[in-house]
Amino acid sequence: MCSGESKTNYQFPGTKVGRLRAVFVAPSATVMAVLFFAPLLIIVAYSLLSRGPYGGVMHPWTPENYRRVFDPLYGQVLWRSIWIAGAATALCLILGFPLALYIARAKRHRTLLLNLVMLPFWTSFLIRIYAWMFLLRDTGLINTALQELHVISQPLPLLFNTGAVILGLVYGYLPFTVLPLYATLEKLDPELLDAAEDLGASPWSALWRVTVPLSRSGIIAGCLLVFIPCVGAYLTPDLMGGGKTVMAGNLVQNQFTTARDWPFGAAASLVLMLLVLAIMQILRRRSEELL
């Protein structure tokens, strides 16, 4: 009897804590249901309807929109989005890892360096993109300076191409790589590197065999934080690509605005979301295997 009473007394706090947890989670769960899942269900419904004669949606229900997404023309747009986002992510990692490592090992001015990394966030992203366009255009600062120095005779095509789009994405999302990498590298025990040096490892070997493997979680987090917004970007490709580099975000945006083909735009956005989720799942499983 005593054991039964003790068991009852033991379970009651757990039930009480579970109810209390549910009360605290309920507001955020309601917000997620209203602001995320409900619009998502609307997009799913739109993707299975037909385009109206003047835009909008109408019956009948049809899967034709999903078949159109995998048309070679639109498939090329999806592939372009993935490889440009992958290139921007790789460049962010190559540039961000040494910077994050330097900040993590800096004994002085660490706070100042972190503030400098976050400084671009204090300015509108649109203004920063226009600033890059001013620098890269034919009559911009870079081409004008090179012509004045007689390095070139004709302006270089620095804007309205794929390279400009990748540059804009790298500039815009580089801090998203640096910050999670810094959070991981800052916790790295320096005695591990000293031990590697005592065992005869060169600085370069210690970097690849000790620092990089131990910062794997920060690398994966930084890559995801960059790749996901890059693959769906539409402002940077639209402005710095000049309409010549169409990515999935531009395709979806054009379907909802210019073409007024909401069902196809909804289907394209869902396919893009599923591709990103699949890539995230692959990276998550890969990280679990490595860890």
pLDDT in tens, 167-222: 999 999 999 999 999 999 888 887 787 787 777 778 788 888 888 888 888 898 89
pLDDT computed for residue 1 by the predictor = 43
pLDDT computed for residue 2 by the predictor = 46
Domain 68-290 is found in CATH 1.10.3720.10: yes
pLDDT computed for residue 178 by the predictor = 94
Helix (H), strand (E) at residue 214? helix 212-214
For the chain, residues with pLDDT lower than 70 are 1-14, 287-291
Q: What is the pTM of this model?
A: 0.83
Contact 280, 224 (CB under 8 A): yes
Across the chain, the runs of DSSP E, i.e. the strands, are 50-51, 57-58
Distance CA 131, CA 142 (A): 12
Distance CA 24, CA 26 (A): 6
Q: Is 65 exposed, middle or buried (0-12, 13-18, 19+ CB in 10 A)?
A: buried
Contact 193, 206 (CB under 8 A): yes
Distances (CA, A) of 25 to 13, 18, 21: 18, 10, 6
Give the start-to-end residue ranges of the domains of the chain. Answer: 1-47, 68-290
Contact 204, 170 (CB under 8 A): no
